Every structure is written in C-alpha cells, then in structure tokens.
Structure 1
Amino acid sequence: MPTLRMMVVAGAAALLLAACERDAASDIAPAPRPVRTTTIEKRESPTPFVFTGHIEAEDEMSVAFRISGRLLANNIRLGDRVEAGQLLAQLESQNELNALRQAQAALAAAQGQLTQARNHFERQQTLLAQGWTTRANFEAATQAQQTTQSQVDAAEAQLSAAHDQVNFTELRADAPGKIIETGPAAGEVIQAGQTIARIARQDGRDAIFEVPAQLIRAAPANLQVTVSLTDDPAVSAHGRIRQVAAQANPVTRTFEVRVGLTDPPAAMRLGATVVGRAEASAGPMIDIPATALTRMNRQPAVWILDPSTKTVSVRNVDVLRFDQAQVIISQGLDAGEIVVTAGVQALHPGQKVRILGSEP
C-alpha cells in the first residue's frame, strides 16, 4: 500500500514538472524571421512607346488639269519616276487652238484701228497748231486714240489667256518624284481639278503612326523616334515628330503623328510597314522587385520594415506598371522607406524580422 501511494505522488510530481516546463517554454519569444529588404529610392524611369505605322512621302501633291475636256493621252504609270517639267497627260486642244487663233485675229484688228487713230490724232494735232482745225476735232481724235489703245490692251490680254488655255491642255510635273496613284485613262472626259495622279516628291520620307491622346500629352515635343521595318528590324532610321494632327480620327479616336526621318535607307520604301520605338521620361518613379509585391484587401500591398523596432507592417500601394522582374509604384511609398523583398508570404503585422546577412 505504501508503494502505491508513493507511485501516485511521483506521478503527480511528474505532471506538475511537465506543466512548469510548458509554461517556461511559452514565455520564450519566437525567433525573428529572416527576410531580405531594399531601401526605396526615386529614379528616372523612361516610358517606352511602340507603335506600328507606314512610310509616306514627306511632301505629296495631286496633279490635275485646270480645265475640263477629253483626255487625249495619259503617260502615267504607277511607280514611274518623273522629272520636273515632264509631260504627264494631254487633253484634246482643238477648241483651245481655235480660241487662240480668234484672239490673235482680234488683236491684229485692234492694232490696225490703233494705227489709224494715231495717224488721225497726229494730223489733228498739226492742223490745230496751224489754226486749220477746231479744238473739238482735236479732242475727238484724242479720245479715239485712247479708245483704240484700250481695245489693243484688251485684245492682248485675251491672247495671253488663250495661250494659257492651250498650255492648260498639257499636264506637267512640278517637281521630281514618284507616281503613287493614277487616275482616269485616255479617252475619258474629265472635269477641271479632277485628280489625274499623285506624286510623292523625293525630298523626304515620313513615318505615319496613329497615337492615343494620352501618349501625345506625355511625350516631349522633341521626342526622338527609332523607326525600323517590321520584316527586317536591321533596316532602321531615326527621326523626330514633325507634325501632329489637330483633330482625332472620328473612328479610332487617335491622332495621326508624322515623324520626319533623317537619311532613311533605300529599303524603306513608300508604303512599307514600320515599327516606331521611343522612350520618354515620366518623371521620378519608385521601382521595387516583383517579389516584394503581395495583396491586402484584394489590393496590391508591400511589407514595410520599421528599423527602430525591427517589426513589419503591411501597406497598400498603387501599381503603375509591372513585369516579371520589376514593379513601378505610383503611390503609397516614399524615398527612404525599407520594403521587404523576400519572405513576404510568411509575415504578419507586428512580426519581428531579421535582415539576412545581419547579426542574429
């Protein structure tokens, strides 16, 4: 019996000792969790712009006849190169030639009348000086000479206009270039101002892009653009924005941007599809490693380290853009703050941490 009592006492003592050991163990704080951190710095972060467009001539012109008529000849072929003054097309000119001959005849008749009026004026002037005619006759001769002189001037103007009408039956190139569009063929009746061809002048090339309004506002005025062929990126040229459309496209709501190219290679032909690339600074940005990003309340967040207490707290941030390696933060962080970049999955608010590489 004494042996049983001793066994019960020994068991109770063992249970009491174990409980004391558990209480002592619970009083020991958990070891700080090791993490990696980075200190926030603001730096210039360029914003990339990439757009697809095509090549056009810097200066294009539409050529047309100034008068209506039947197209007699059309020497225009798509892709042909033309020189300044080269004959492109002709209209039937029979009516204009008849008008020219009529104007020549009218001028000859007016000149004959002017000669007669001058002779009569000179006679009246001589007779008036000798007293053999009246002042009224002299004044009538003077008026007749002035009238016939005006008729000659009018006839000369009509003759010049008739010459112009004959010249207008021939369409010539104003500058060297390349035919990029053709119009009606020989035999068709055309109207004045109707486009016969479009010529791309050889004095420059533009890359044309359709750009959203918000990017136009963000881009600087003197932005440099690198333009390359989509099928051969090795063929490239540099340029700067030369012109921005004043009105948006009513369908796409984008603005046409013309980039003037500097010394474009010959392989960058008219109509070729190109890609334009540029970078513009969007001001000081905060970037952190992608591993630092977590979520709180269904929003992007990061863990902030308090260097005085070595504890962490979670904070929501606004993400501007991100990729697999880097996240650009627009709001929520300030320069000098310390952000946890590794070990974020096992943290909780107020937890003590230890920076890897520092003393325990």
Structure 2
Amino acid sequence: MLSACSDPQTVDEQPRPALVTQPQPASAQVLSYPGEVRARHEPELAFRIGGKVTRRLVEVGDRVKKNQPLAELDPEDARLQLEAARSQVAAAEANLSLAQAERDRYRTLLERQMISSSQYDNAENSYRSAAARLKQARAEFDVAQNHATYSVLRAPEDGVITRRLLESGQVVAAGQTVLVMAADGEREVLFSLPEGSLGQLQLGLPVQVQLWSRPDQLYPGRLRELSPSADPQSRTFAARVAFEAPEAEIELGQSARVFIENPSQSALAVPLAAVSAEAGQSFVWVVESESHRLRRQPVQVGNYQHDRATILQGLEAGDWIVAAGVHMLLEGQQVLPVDRQNRSVQISGE
C-alpha cells in the first residue's frame, strides 16, 4: 500500500536509431523531355476557291516538288465564270465603240455649231463611262482567269506531305485546310513542357538532342520557341528546339529526347525516401547538431529521378537529414544518427 502511494518512476525516452545522410551537389541538373523531329516550316495548304474535289494526287509521306499538282477541283464552275467574264468584256468593248462613235459625231456637229455644248458633254460622259466599264470588265476577267487556275492546288515549295484532310468527291470551302506539308530545310524537335518547368527556361537556352535511333550521339541545339498558352487537354506548353547545324541524317517523325541543363540554380540531391509531403508542402527531417532532435524543414523540390530528388531551396550542403523511415518520425523527437553500416555518426554544427 505504501508503494502504491509513492510517486511513479520516470522512464527516460530512448533515442531511436535513424539513418542519416547529407545532401549531395546535383552536379548534373538535367531535365529530359521526349519529343519528335518536325520541320521548321509546316504550311497548311488550302484551295483559294471552294468546290468539289475531283482528284487527289498525293498520299501522306509523298515527296513533292515546287508547283507540283496535289489536288484538283471540278473546273466547270470556274470555266463558266471565265466565259461570263469574257462575254462582259466583249459587251463592254462594243459599248465603248458605240460611245466613241457617238462622241465623234457630236464633236463634228459641235464644230459646225449644230448642237449645244451640253449635248456634246453628255456624249463625252457616256464615252468615259463606257471606257471605265470596259476597264472594270477586263479586271473581272483577269480575276476569273486566276480563279480558273485556282482549281488546281500546287505545292508552294519542296517538301513532304504529312497530313491529308480531303478525299475525292468531298466539297471544300475556300481556305479550308486539306493538306499539311513539311517543307524541306531546317528541322526542329517539338516537345511538351510541364508548367512547373516553364519558369526555369528561357529562349536561346542551349540544349542537347538525342535521337532514339542513335542513342550514342548528341546534337547541340537551342530553345527557339515557347508557346505562350498551354494545351487545353494536356495542360503543357509546346516548345521547339532548333539544331545548331543542319544534319542530313535527321528525318521527319524521328523520336528524340531533349536534355536541358539549367546552371542558373544551385541544387542539392537527396535520397527519394528522405522527402515527404503534407498538405501539398514537401519537407525533410533535419537532425539538430547538438541535441540530435528532429526539425521539419520545408523544401522546394525540383525534378524527381528513380532514386533521388533535386532540392532547389530549403537545405544547406552541411545539413544532416533522415534518409529512411520518415513517415514514423515526430517533431522534436530525439534520434541516434547512424550510417548505412549502422555505425554512429558524429554530427557537428560546423
């Protein structure tokens, strides 16, 4: 009974072992993005007039030369418009001849003082009006003649057909895209950039490009273009990399990988198991040098790799952090720092 009334004995909390490590410099902070080789110029081809497609002369993948016919529309409507314009020109020429003859007669009568000046002025105005109408008719004829040639879609330059959006018998409108062509010349790599990496890159940044068909070779390039808006479905930003020098063996459609090194930020690398998160905030457990107690340290994480994570902000190179079992730790908990061989680690504040 007397022992039951005595004060309970205090049990000292025993520090639990914790595997610790120090952040290592991320000497190669390289971001990698998959991409596809595309042409620098990819014009979307369309007829300048509407009509019914009668012939499709190319397929996807066909190489074409400048001014080569690619597709044709039914030329009947354009031919009829051309004939109508030609008839208007003929009528305007006849009307002008009549107005000129009438003006010449009135001029003779005016010289003989057989008509008034106002009557001659009317004849002169009729002549000028007929001349203007002939000029208008000839301009309309030229337009109709051009429209007759627009029934044939021709390649604007040498290249390769990459997309086909028409079939024979289809009715298309003026300006409707029917073919997409990749022009010969410069080649680029198109890739998608996540929103989190957008602020780390800038135009003109040097990059390295690796083709899947030649993994042992890297091609130098520069970031040439960044889309100002995100794709509504993938929520990524389209980016284009231009090769520093033209390479003959780079073909359209080849799979590629873009490597971008960002030296503007000094980053540290920690084991992936050392990073935890709560309420959207990433953090690591830092071991205090004197007390060996834990402190939750918020960090900004860059990119994740298969076994390491890049820390952009929140850690110093001399910090000691817990590298495993972080989900079982508490704020202020005292630990016994050990290495991977279960040997005690001396943590100093220097």
Q: Which secondary structure does the structure 2 equivalent of 1:109 belong to?
A: helix
Q: 1:132 aligns with which of 105, 110, 114?
A: 114
From the two aligned structures, give the one with the greater helix fraction.
1
Aligned residue identity for 1:229: L
Question: Match of 1:241?
Answer: 223
- Say if 1:275 and 1:44 are closer, same or farther in 2 by CA, change over 3 A: closer
Question: Match of 2:313?
Answer: 330
1:300 aligns with 2:293: no
CA distance in 1, matches of 2:235, 2:62: 35
Check the 8 A contact 1:237/1:264 in 2, yes or no: no
Check the 8 A contact 2:55/2:72 in 1, yes or no: yes
CA distance in 2, matches of 1:175, 1:82: 8
What TM-score do you get using the length of structure 2 for normalisation? 0.72
- Say if 1:251 and 1:116 are closer, same or farther in 2 by CA, change over 3 A: closer
Check the 8 A contact 1:56/1:208 in 2, yes or no: yes
For 1:1-360, list aligned pairs within 5 A.
Answer: 47-285=29-267, 299-302=284-287, 304=289, 316=295, 320=301, 330-333=313-316, 344-345=337-338
CA distance in 1, matches of 2:314, 2:177: 56
Aligned residue identity for 1:145: Y
Stretches of structure 1 lacking an aligned partner (at least 5 in a row): 1-36, 305-310, 354-360
Greater C-alpha Rg: 1
- Say if 1:125 and 1:267 are closer, same or farther in 2 by CA, change over 3 A: same
What TM-score do you get using the length of structure 1 for normalisation? 0.70
Q: Which secondary structure does the structure 2 equivalent of 1:112 belong to?
A: helix
Offset at residue 223 of structure 1 (A) = 1.3
Stretches of structure 2 lacking an aligned partner (at least 5 in a row): 1-20, 275-282, 322-335
Question: Match of 1:10?
Answer: none
CA distance in 1, matches of 2:312, 2:176: 57
Check the 8 A contact 2:50/2:174 in 1, yes or no: yes
- Say if 1:140 and 1:325 are closer, same or farther in 2 by CA, change over 3 A: closer
CA distance in 1, matches of 2:244, 2:238: 19
Aligned residue identity for 1:69: G
Q: Deviations over 1:259-296 (max 9, x none)?
A: 122335344322221111010024345679x8xx9xxx
Aligned residue identity for 2:228: A
| Equivalent residue pairs, number | 300
- Say if 1:269 and 1:236 are closer, same or farther in 2 by CA, change over 3 A: farther
Offset at residue 240 of structure 1 (A) = 1.4
Question: Match of 1:25?
Answer: none
